[in-house]
Amino acid sequence: MAYQHQWQDGSKVEWPPGKIVCVGRNYAAHAAELNNPVPEQPLLFLKPASALAPLTDPIRLPHGRSDVHFETELAILVGQTLTGASQQQARGAIAGIGLALDLTLRDLQSELKAKGHPWERAKAFDGACPLSGFVPLRSDDDLENLRFSLTVDGEQRQAGHTGDMITPVLALLAHISETFTLQPGDVVLTGTPAGVGTLQSGQQLTLELDGRFQVQTSVE
């Protein structure tokens, strides 16, 4: 069955899945752990809708690849068209928030970067964006004060706080809309905190968003 956005209660989101706009190095500590410089403006790249997979399904590692890294990220579901938007317009266009894993073939990414080539082969492969169901954005949700985490086999590996983002969520959406029109069903991944690492077959993962929901998955 083809992937379809869902709410946490299991109901379907009304819009079909669109593109996934990702931002790299939006947490300084993560940039440092990979020895990458902090960019002067948001570092953007895309994943196609074909990269989406339900986070609750087992994660299938690409055949022949042993260095698949997890990167846990706050995911924003876009519900209104945004082009050249203000931050206020961006807030009004957020339909929901969720969690995603930006799966990365780290060894391949390093090879591509060394050659000055694009990253898509390492970031946009089928299944490269396991995504949770979404919860609606509440009027009292402070997008600069959300916490999320990842535990692997019971050990916390990543703990993110949106207040640590170099470019906050609303400024990020406004910036993206200057280059890419965001449309209902599009998803924005807002960057990963420090603590990324390699996935291994048999691992059990638990992702939690600020007391709003918890989701579990496994690695095949």
Give pLDDT, residue 97.
Answer: 98
> Do residues 158 and 192 touch, judged by C-beta distance below 8 A?
yes
Domains and CATH numbers, the chain: 20-218 (3.90.850.10)
What CA–CA distance (Å, rounded) separates 124 from 53?
12
Residue-level pLDDT, tens digit, the chain, 220 residues: 689 999 999 999 999 999 999 999 999 888 778 778 878 899 999 999 999 999 999 999 988 877 999 999 999 999 999 999 999 999 999 999 999 999 999 999 999 989 999 989 999 999 999 999 999 999 999 999 999 999 999 999 999 999 999 999 999 999 999 999 999 999 999 999 999 999 999 999 999 999 899 999 999 9
> Do residues 71 and 193 touch, judged by C-beta distance below 8 A?
no
Which two three-digit tokens encode residue 8? 């946490």
C-alpha distances (whole Å) from 183 to each of 41, 71, 171 are: 22, 24, 17
> Do residues 126 and 144 touch, judged by C-beta distance below 8 A?
no
Give pLDDT, residue 195.
Answer: 96
Prediction pTM value? 0.96
Which two three-digit tokens encode residue 71? 């990167």
Question: CA-CA-CA-CA torsion for 24, 28, 33, 39, nearest 10 degrees?
Answer: 50
The single residue listed with the structure tokens 């990324």 is 196
